[in-house]
């Protein structure tokens, strides 16, 4: 498992150091660096990350204020030259706190702690009670019960999945894979129609030129799964 990581610090030398540490750590993947939190907020609107390394003392928006703006905050490690801010950081459930100047050994201990926490959460996300009506899914530091009949479709995004629920405006985001959740779904009700999509066959109402329509979303049926999906249609076609 590789943790997608971003670093935020208004000091160029600090960013250079974090970049070096992240790049030399095998289980970390650098997704971006930012010299101010506002640019990071814009980035996180479109990209999911696993870990944020953020300085506390910055102009315009402090690291603590930045984390408070995040609706679904990933793991956070605060970096700062001021020890008095540690308590405030831990109140936000920060994974760790690095006091500048810090070496690679301290950095490695902190990110290993984040890795362990994520691995435990990932195990909880895929460890569900097998039955024909629902499953439990880890999302936003909570475990949610998801009724199979309420699922419209599931979209895979590398290490994450989005579960789209009927009647809910936002999908449920969980650290898992399409393959992992596919193994927990009833085969008679759900079908994988694309490398990145699983659909609830009971919720299909419109098909438009080999695309399954859910509201404004069009789910493609790829060539790999087209025959199986066509077999389902033939069995239920008037």
The CATH number covering residue 89 comes to 3.40.50.2300
Q: Does 25 share its domain with 104?
A: yes
Return the pLDDT at 128.
46
**Are 27 and 55 in a shared domain?**
yes
Residues 101 and 176 reside in one and the same domain:
no
Residues 10 and 113 grouped into a single domain: yes
How many domains is the chain built from?
2
Q: Are residues 18 and 115 in the same domain?
A: yes
Contacts of 59 (CB under 8 A, 6+ apart): 10, 36
Considering the domain architecture, whether residues 9 and 83 belong to the same structural domain is answered as yes
Give the separation between CA 238 and CA 101, rounded to whole angstroms. Answer: 72
Candidate from 59-68, 90-99, 151-160 with smallest mean pLDDT: 90-99
The reply to whether 15 and 89 lie within a common domain is yes
List residues bridging with 198 in a β-sheet. Answer: 154, 192
Q: Which helix (H) or strand (E) covers residue 27, if one does? A: none
9 in the same domain as 27: yes
In b/e form, how buried is each residue of 140-170, taking b as 16+ CB within 10 angstroms?
A: eeeeeebebebbbbbbbeebbbbbbbeeeee
Q: What is the edge-to-edge ordering of all strands in the sheet holding 211-214? A: 206-207, 211-214, 217-220
Q: What is the pLDDT of residues 50-83, one digit of tens each?
A: 999 999 988 889 898 999 888 778 999 999 887 6
Task: Name the phi and psi angles at 115, rounded to 5.
Answer: -60, -45
Say if residue 12 is in the same domain as residue 64. yes
Q: Considering the chain, what percentage of its residues have pLDDT values greater than 70?
A: 92
Query: For residues 46 and 70, is the Cβ–Cβ distance under 8 A?
Result: no
Which of the four pLDDT bands, split at 50, 70 and 90, describes residue 111? very high
Please say if the pLDDT value at position 127 is more than 80: no
Confidence of residue 90 (pLDDT cuts 50, 70, 90): low
For residues 195 and 120, membership in a common domain is answered with no
134: pLDDT strictly greater than 80 = yes
For 34-56, the pLDDT digits (tens) are: 999 999 999 998 888 999 999 99
Residue 86 confidence (pLDDT): 58
The residue from 67, 98, 124 where one domain ends is: 124
Residue where a domain stops, chosen among 71, 91, 124: 124
The answer to whether residues 198 and 98 belong to one domain is no
Domain that holds residue 141: 131-235
The reply to whether 19 and 75 lie within a common domain is yes
- With H, G, I as helix, E, B as strand and everything else as coil, classify residue 70: coil
- Provide the edge-to-edge strand list for the sheet that holds 3-8: 28-34, 3-8, 51-55, 75-80, 96-99
In this predicted structure, what is the pLDDT of residue 87?
Answer: 57
Write down which residue in 77, 94, 124 finishes a domain: 124
What is the reported pLDDT for 126?
Answer: 57
Percent of the chain with pLDDT strictly greater than 90: 63
CATH code of residue 140: 2.40.50.1020
Q: Average per-residue pLDDT in the chain?
A: 89
- Residues 166-197: pLDDT tens digits? 999 899 999 888 888 998 899 899 999 999 99
């Amino acid at each position: 498992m590789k943790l997608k990581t971003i670093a935020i610090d208004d000091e160029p030398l600090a960013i250079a150091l974090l970049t070096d540490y992240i790049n030399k750590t095998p289980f970390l993947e650098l997704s971006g660096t930012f010299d101010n939190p506002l640019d990071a907020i814009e980035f996180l609107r479109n990209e999911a990350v696993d870990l944020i390394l953020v300085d506390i003392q910055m102009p315009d928006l402090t690291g603590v204020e930045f984390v408070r703006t995040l609706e679904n905050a990933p793991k956070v490690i605060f970096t700062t030259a001021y020890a008095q801010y540690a308590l405030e950081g831990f109140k936000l459930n920060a994974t760790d706190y690095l006091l500048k100047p810090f070496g690679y050994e301290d950095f490695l201990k902190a990110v290993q702690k984040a890795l362990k926490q994520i691995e435990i959460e990932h195990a909880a996300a895929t460890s569900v009670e097998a039955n024909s009506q629902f499953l439990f899914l880890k999302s936003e530091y909570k475990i949610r019960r998801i009724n199979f009949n309420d699922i419209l479709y599931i979209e895979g995004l590398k290490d994450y999945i989005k579960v789209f629920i009927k009647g809910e405006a936002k999908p449920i985001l969980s650290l898992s894979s399409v393959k992992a959740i596919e193994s927990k779904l009833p085969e008679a009700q759900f079908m994988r129609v694309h490398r990145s999509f699983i659909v609830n066959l009971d919720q299909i109402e419109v098909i438009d030129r080999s695309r399954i329509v859910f509201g404004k979303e069009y789910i493609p049926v790829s060539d790999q799964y087209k025959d199986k999906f066509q077999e389902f249609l033939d069995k239920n076609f008037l």
